């Protein structure tokens, strides 16, 4: 099994969490996005959209992090099972994964870009931080009375984790006004699969 990835990519980190949860061994090929390697002919044969991550597993080529994670959960059904059995709850988890990717991770990536820019656009930075903060308010409601976003740890928790563990670095504080999110983040970072990501963003 080989994962084509770029170290800073939160979508690649999503896949690495599932690989760790399933205790699957894999090789890594770094695709240097800064050098444009994702646009090269060789990589585009794996993913015509020129994006990481890509997983190659015994002849199966799978791209898009959400689809990769569902593939891993289907192909390696040993514990932990990362999707609920109930079809309605399964759909809810998938909706939360999509929400994480679009409304949480992408604005967080925009914050990172602005913080790294030679000339920051404070307006863009403020808008992106506001978008992430709104997501945290939604998550506070979703987590009320629960340990995880579903009845147990699932792909929904995985989808939020890579960004969640680096919010402080992005200038967003999860404080006492978000007690459910605060406790959830603690539970997530205590899992070895996610806690190890902290070392990568320290």
> What whole-number percentage of the chain has pLDDT above 70?
97
pLDDT at 161: 97
Q: What is the pTM of this model?
A: 0.93
Grade residue 95 by pLDDT with cuts at 50, 70 and 90: very high
Active site residues: 9
pLDDT at 199: 59
Q: What is the C-alpha separation between 152 and 41, in angstroms, rounded?
A: 41
Residue 71: Cβ-neighbour burial (10 angstroms; 0-12, 13-18, 19+) = middle
Euclidean distance between the first and final Cα of the chain, in Å? 28
Q: Which CATH entry fits the domain spanning 87-201: 3.30.420.40, 3.40.50.720, 1.10.10.10, 1.20.1050.10?
A: 1.20.1050.10
Dump pLDDT digits (tens) for 123-144.
Answer: 999 999 999 999 999 999 999 9
Q: What is the C-alpha separation between 17 and 5, in angstroms, rounded?
A: 13
pLDDT at 195 over 90: no
Dump pLDDT digits (tens) for 171-192.
Answer: 998 988 999 999 999 999 999 9
- Is 2-75 assigned to CATH 3.40.30.10? yes
Q: Where are the domains of the chain?
A: 2-75, 87-201
């Amino acid at each position: 099994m080989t994962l084509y990835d770029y170290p800073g990519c939160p979508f690649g980190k999503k896949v690495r969490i599932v690989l760790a949860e399933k205790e699957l061994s894999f090789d890594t090929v770094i695709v240097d996005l800064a050098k444009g390697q994702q646009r090269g002919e060789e990589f585009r044969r794996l993913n015509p959209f020129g994006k990481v991550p890509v997983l190659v597993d015994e002849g199966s080529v799978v791209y898009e992090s959400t689809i990769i994670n569902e593939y891993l959960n289907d192909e390696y059904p040993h514990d932990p099972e990362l999707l609920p059995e109930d079809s309605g709850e399964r759909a809810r988890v998938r909706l939360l994964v999509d929400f994480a990717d679009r409304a949480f991770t992408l604005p967080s990536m925009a914050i990172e870009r602005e913080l790294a820019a030679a000339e920051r656009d404070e307006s863009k930075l403020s808008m992106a931080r506001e978008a992430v903060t709104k997501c945290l308010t939604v998550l506070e409601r979703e987590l009320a009375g629960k340990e995880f976003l579903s009845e147990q740890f699932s792909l929904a928790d995985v989808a939020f984790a890579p960004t969640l563990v680096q919010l402080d670095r992005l200038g967003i504080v999860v404080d006492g006004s978000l007690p459910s999110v605060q406790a959830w983040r603690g539970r997530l970072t205590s899992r070895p699969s996610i806690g190890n990501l902290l070392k990568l963003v320290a």
